[in-house]
Structure 1
C-alpha cells in the first residue's frame, strides 16, 4: 500500500529533472527540422504499407505482374522481370509515334526530379539517372497500355502480342488493373501528363484522366473539377467512386492521429460551464506544432500548482496518463460507467440487413445518375435505405484495401485551404466499407442485397462476399464524424420503433403470397358476414320479446 502511494506521489509531484531538460532540447531540434519536413510531407503521396497491414493480406499489396515505380523495381519475381521487356517495347512504340528523341523526355522530367522523389514516403535508393530512366519507361508503358485498351486494332503491335493486343489485354487486363491500383505500385500522374505534353499528340494520347477512367470502365469523365490535381492512378480511381466537389458531400470533421503532429499547449483544470468537459488544445499542422510547443516544465507546473480537490486532481492526472494521445481535441473525465457506454453503443449500432428488413426498413438501389459510395441516404418517413450498386469480384478486396490505405496515409493530411476545397478530404471509402461491414454479417444479408440489385458479384457464393466485407475493416480505424455515421444512427433509431416492425411482420407473414392474401381477405369477409348475421339475429330476438301494444291505443 505504501509503495502504491509512493508511486502516485512520484507521478504527481514532478520535479525539473534531467529528462525534462532533455525533452526541451529535443523540442528545439524538432522546431528546426519542422519546415523542411512539413514541405516534404505536403508533397508526399505514394506510401509504404506497414508490415502490420501486410501480414493481414500480403498479396493485396504486392504486384503480381508488373512493377510500377521504385518500391518493387528490382524484385526478383519472374513475372515482374518478364514485364520489363514489354515495357521497353512500349517505349520504342511511344517514341516512334511521337517522333521525338528520348533525351527530350528526360530533359522535360529533370526539373521535376526532386519533387518526383519527394512524392515517395521512402526515398528511392537509385541514382538520379536511373530514377529518371525508370520514370520514362514506366510512364510510356502506362500510356501505351491506356491507348491500346481503347482501340481494337493497332498496327504498332502484332495481333498475337502477349500484352498490347486485344487478346493479350483480355488475359493480362484483370491482373494489370489490380497491380495498377496498388498503393506501393504508383508513379506521380504529372509524369504521364508531362510525357503527353512533350509528345504533342493529343489525338493519339488524349487526356490522361479520361484514359484512366476508360481503362477501368468508369463513367465519370464529365466532372473535370473532381479530378483536378489528381496524384496518381489510384487517386483517380478513388475520386471516381465518390461525389467529391458535388453538393451534399460532407467533409469529415476530425483527423486521424498520424496525419498531424499535435502538442499539448496546456492542461487546463477548469471545467467548461456548458458541458463539464476538460479542454485540451492542439496544433493543427506540424509547422504550428513545432513553434507552439511549450516547455515541458510549464505543463508540469500547471498540474502541480492546482491544489484544489486533491482527489479529483489525482484522478484527472491518471486519466491523462492513460488516455492522452496525439489526437488532440477534448478529454472527458473518467466518469462514464460501463453500463452507460454499452447503452450508448447499442443505441447507435446498426443491425445487419436481414434484421433491418424484418424491422420494416426497405432497401433501394440508387439510379445510374447517383452511384457514389458517399451518397448513401436513409428516408426516415418511408423507412427506405438507398445504396449504390457494387460489383464484387476477385480484385475487390485488393482494390479496397489499397484505397483505404491511401486514405489512411494521405487524404487527411494537413493541406492548404485550396487543396482542402479541391480535394474534399475524408475517409469516404473507408466509411463505406465500415458501413457495409455492419450491414453484411452472413450470407443471408448478401442474398437480400442481391435481391434488390445492390450487390452483384462474380465470386463463388454469398458467403464469400460476406467474408470479403467482414475482413476488409480488420485493424482499420474510422472517423466517427463521417456522414455515414449519421445515416447509421438514423437507421438504428428507426429499427427500435415498434410499429414499422409489426407492419413488416404482417407483410412478410400474411401478404407475401397472392393466395395467402386472398385467403385472408376471404376470411375477413366471412367473419364480417358472421358478425352482421349475429347482430341481426340479436335485434330480431329483442323485437319478438317486446310486448304487443293494447287495442285502441294510439
Structure 2
C-alpha cells in the first residue's frame, strides 16, 4: 500500500476523532459571541448597541471594558458582603465551581485563550459575577438575608429606580450571560434552594412569574426569559406547508374583511385565524424591546437547540406591520401596547428586528398566512367589508341606512297602489 494511501487513512482517522470531540463540545455551547453573520465588524456603533452591555458585564466577553469598570468595585464590595454571612465558605464554593470549570468554559463559544488557559481566573470571574447577579435578584425581590444600607448606590430605592433598569437590560444580552450552572452552584452550596427556587427568583425579578410553567432545562437567564413568551403550544397542522402568494398589512387585511382580536394568552405562539378573525397575542413595545428581542433572535440563530419561534413571530409581525397606521390599528384592539414613542417608531422597530429573517417552514404561522391569503382572494369578503365600513360604521350611519330602506319601501308600495288604482 502506498504511503499516500496510508497518510490519507491516518488523516481520515484524525479527522473522525476531531469531529467527535467537536460534536461533544458543541453540545455544551450556550453563550455565544455574535458572529460576523449577525454583527459585521463594519456596522455602526448604534447598530451594535442592542447587543452590548451599557452598565455591567457578566462573564468573560465584556469583562474589563473601560465604560463598565465603575461597577467592578461594587461587584467586589457585594462579594465580600455575600461571604460575610454565616455558613458561607469561600473554599467550598471555589472547589465546587472548579469541579465543573470545564463545562462552564465549554458553555462559551468562542472563549479567549486568556480564560481557557487560566482556569483559576475564570472560576474567580464566575463566582464574583455570579454572586453579584444573585444579589441583584435577591435584594430587588425582597428576599431575606441582606444588610445593605438605605443609601446604597445599587441596593436602595434610588438604585431600584435609576440603576436596576440598566442592569435588567444588560442581563438579557446573549454575550453577557452566565451559565445557569453557576447560579445553581452558588445557591446549592449556600443552602438557598435548588433549581426551581432559582427559576422562580429569576422570573420574579423580571416580572414574568405568571408565565413560568414547566420549561424544562434552561441554559441561562436569556434562555429562561425567552421561554416565558412561548409557553403556549399551537395545534399541529397536518396540512402541507404552501407558498404564500401575497402579503398584506393589517390595514389591508381590515379592508379585505378580516377582523382582529387579542389572543387568550400572551404567548407569541398563540396566533390563529378562524372565520375571518385573526387572533394575536398582546405585545408590549418599550425601550428594551429591541435589545431583548434582537438578543433572543441571536440566540435562536446561534444555538441549534433553541428553536425558531421568536424568529417566526417577528417575521410574521413584519408581514402585517408596514406603517404607523398598522400599529395604530393593532393598538386599538389591545394587541400592541406602544410605550416606545410614536406609532411610526414602533413600526420601524418590527422592520429592523426582522431584517434577514424568515418564518420557519415548519411553523404553524405559515398556514395561518396561507389561510389569510385564501380568505382575501374571495371578493365577497371585501365587498361585505366595504358595505360594513361605509354604511354601518356608526349608529347614525345605521339609522340613515334603515331610514333610507324604509323610505324606499314606502315609496315603492305607494307607487304600486297608485298604478293599481288606475
**TM-score, with normalisation over the residues of structure 1?**
0.70
Tell whether the 8 Å contact from 2:211 to 2:231 is kept in structure 1 after alignment.
Answer: no
Equivalents in 1 of 2:234, 2:324: separation in Å?
Answer: 35
Residues 282-315 of structure 1 show CA distances to partners (whole Å, capped at 9, x for unaligned) of xxxxxxxxxxxxxxxxxxxxxxxxxxxxxxxxxx
Report the Cα offset of residue 37 of structure 1: 0.4
| Aligned CA distance change for structure 1 residues 399 and 539 (closer, same or farther; 3 Å) | same
Residues 98-124 of structure 1 show CA distances to partners (whole Å, capped at 9, x for unaligned) of 521211111111110101100111124
Aligned residue number for residue 83 of structure 1: 71
Aligned residue number for residue 50 of structure 2: 60
**Aligned match for 1:213, one of 176, 181, 203:** 203
| Aligned CA distance change for structure 1 residues 447 and 157 (closer, same or farther; 3 Å) | same
SS of 1:405's partner is helix
Aligned residue number for residue 514 of structure 1: 395
**Aligned match for 1:242, one of 230, 237, 249:** 230
Aligned residue number for residue 148 of structure 2: 157
Report the Cα offset of residue 155 of structure 1: 5.9
| Aligned CA distance change for structure 1 residues 27 and 443 (closer, same or farther; 3 Å) | farther
Residues 341-376 of structure 1 show CA distances to partners (whole Å, capped at 9, x for unaligned) of xxx96x543310000001111110123xx2100121
Report the Cα offset of residue 506 of structure 1: 1.1
| Aligned CA distance change for structure 1 residues 153 and 457 (closer, same or farther; 3 Å) | farther
Q: Which moved more, 1:144-153 or 1:36-45?
A: 144-153
Residues 143-190 of structure 1 show CA distances to partners (whole Å, capped at 9, x for unaligned) of 101111112998611112121112202111221111111111011001
Instruction: Please list, as runs of the form range in 1=range in 2, the aligned pairs for 1:104-115 lying within 5 A after superposition.
Output: 104-115=92-103
Report the Cα offset of residue 86 of structure 1: 1.3
| Aligned CA distance change for structure 1 residues 159 and 526 (closer, same or farther; 3 Å) | same
**Aligned match for 1:141, one of 120, 125, 132:** 132
Report the Cα offset of residue 25 of structure 1: 8.1
Equivalents in 2 of 1:447, 1:387: separation in Å?
Answer: 15
Tell whether the 8 Å contact from 1:210 to 1:221 is kept in structure 2 after alignment.
Answer: no
Report the Cα offset of residue 240 of structure 1: 0.6
Whether 1:373 and 2:363 are equivalent positions in the alignment is no
Whether 1:181 and 2:168 are equivalent positions in the alignment is no
**Aligned match for 2:254, one of 357, 360, 365:** 357
Tell whether the 8 Å contact from 2:286 to 2:339 is kept in structure 1 after alignment.
Answer: yes
| Aligned CA distance change for structure 1 residues 396 and 222 (closer, same or farther; 3 Å) | closer
SS of 1:459's partner is coil
| Aligned CA distance change for structure 1 residues 243 and 22 (closer, same or farther; 3 Å) | farther
Aligned residue number for residue 3 of structure 2: none
Tell whether the 8 Å contact from 1:106 to 1:136 is kept in structure 2 after alignment.
Answer: yes
**Aligned match for 2:367, one of 481, 486, 493:** 486
SS of 1:516's partner is helix
SS of 2:176's partner is coil
Whether 1:41 and 2:32 are equivalent positions in the alignment is no
| Aligned CA distance change for structure 1 residues 398 and 68 (closer, same or farther; 3 Å) | same
Report the Cα offset of residue 220 of structure 1: 3.7
Residues 54-102 of structure 1 show CA distances to partners (whole Å, capped at 9, x for unaligned) of 337200111110100011112222xx10111111122122223352121
Aligned residue number for residue 399 of structure 1: 292
Tell whether the 8 Å contact from 2:359 to 2:366 is kept in structure 1 after alignment.
Answer: no
Report the Cα offset of residue 486 of structure 1: 1.3
Q: Once superposed, what is the RMSD of the aligned Cα atoms?
A: 2.7
| Aligned CA distance change for structure 1 residues 483 and 154 (closer, same or farther; 3 Å) | same
Structure 2: runs of 5 or more not aligned? 1-5
Tell whether the 8 Å contact from 1:98 to 1:201 is kept in structure 2 after alignment.
Answer: no
Residues 15-50 of structure 1 show CA distances to partners (whole Å, capped at 9, x for unaligned) of xxxxxx999987654323111000000011011112
| Aligned CA distance change for structure 1 residues 22 and 519 (closer, same or farther; 3 Å) | farther
Equivalents in 2 of 1:134, 1:122: separation in Å?
Answer: 17
Total equivalences in the alignment: 410
Whether 1:409 and 2:409 are equivalent positions in the alignment is no
| Aligned CA distance change for structure 1 residues 23 and 171 (closer, same or farther; 3 Å) | farther
Tell whether the 8 Å contact from 1:44 to 1:118 is kept in structure 2 after alignment.
Answer: yes
Aligned residue number for residue 111 of structure 2: 123
Equivalents in 1 of 2:9, 2:373: separation in Å?
Answer: 49
Residues 508-549 of structure 1 show CA distances to partners (whole Å, capped at 9, x for unaligned) of 1111121121111101100000111111222222xxxxxxxx
Equivalents in 1 of 2:85, 2:36: separation in Å?
Answer: 42
| Aligned CA distance change for structure 1 residues 222 and 186 (closer, same or farther; 3 Å) | closer
**Aligned match for 1:74, one of 57, 64, 67:** 64
SS of 1:161's partner is coil
Equivalents in 1 of 2:12, 2:226: separation in Å?
Answer: 37
| Aligned CA distance change for structure 1 residues 100 and 153 (closer, same or farther; 3 Å) | closer
Instruction: Flag as ranges the 4+ runs of structure 1 deviating above 4 A.
Output: 21-29, 152-155
